[in-house]
Structure 1
Amino acid sequence: METRFTINISLQGPGGKITYGKFSLGRDKKEANEIFSSLKGNAENVSGCSLKIEFLEEIMGLPVPIGRINCCLDELKENIAIISKEIFRIAHLENGNIDY
């Protein structure tokens, strides 16, 4: 069974959820969990407009939510930098366990 881990970034507003970013974290569950755990934000639900980061395990192409955090714009900026740095590290320094 093929399993992949991803992070989706979305905006939750009055009209619903708009997903506008997706990062592939590869197949290593421990490494993907460590990346998600290092992100800034709050697990509590926020009413109204909010930025959401969703951690998903894709099993045979079907997304299964594992975790979710809400964050402000400054936290999102930091989180994208963290995710990008980790993807670069895995792909280039650890001989790539990232799906393209």
Structure 2
Amino acid sequence: MKTFKGIETYGCFHLGNDEAFARRLYASLLADHEVSVDSVITMDLVKREGGVPFPQGLRHCSYEQLSANVRLITKEVFKRLNLEI
């Protein structure tokens, strides 16, 4: 999130170890590749190897997009964990 002090991280989703699933889900998020007037938060795709984070993508979201994305992520992770798809 953009703040007066800079960028602050305040939450994350662990999408598991299936990189293809994580990339498909990330690609389906509502967001912009460029900063816009409504951009208030970024959603980053980060791959961790040996505990070291490697940024894989950055998307800029409005509050409305963030809300839709949290619902989408929750739904897709729930399906993956409970339906084993």
TM-score by length of 2: 0.90
Q: Which residue of 1 aligns with 2:25?
A: 35
Distance in 2 (alpha carbons) for counterparts of 1:15 and 1:27: 33
Alignment counterpart, residue 92 of structure 1, candidates 48, 60, 82 = 82
Consecutive unaligned residues of structure 1, counting only runs of 5 or more, are 1-10, 96-100
Q: Which residue of 2 aligns with 1:81?
A: 71
After superposition, what is the alpha-carbon deviation per residue over 1:4-47, rounded to whole angstroms, capped at 9, x for unaligned?
xxxxxxx0223111111110000111111000000011111358
1:72 correspondence with 2:78: no
**Partners of 2:40 and 2:63 within 8 A in 1:** no
Aligned residue type for 1:66: Q
1:19 correspondence with 2:38: no
**What is the Cα-based RMSD across aligned positions, in Å?**
1.7
Number of residues of Structure 1 aligned to a counterpart in Structure 2: 84
After superposition, what is the alpha-carbon deviation per residue over 1:29-78, rounded to whole angstroms, capped at 9, x for unaligned?
1111000000011111358x720100000001111000010010000000
- Higher RCO, Cα 8 Å, sep 6+: 1
Aligned residue type for 2:63: L
More strand by share: 1
Q: Which secondary structure state, in structure 1, belongs to the residue aligned with residue 56 of structure 2?
A: strand
TM-score by length of 1: 0.77
Consecutive unaligned residues of structure 2, counting only runs of 5 or more, are none
More helix by share: 2
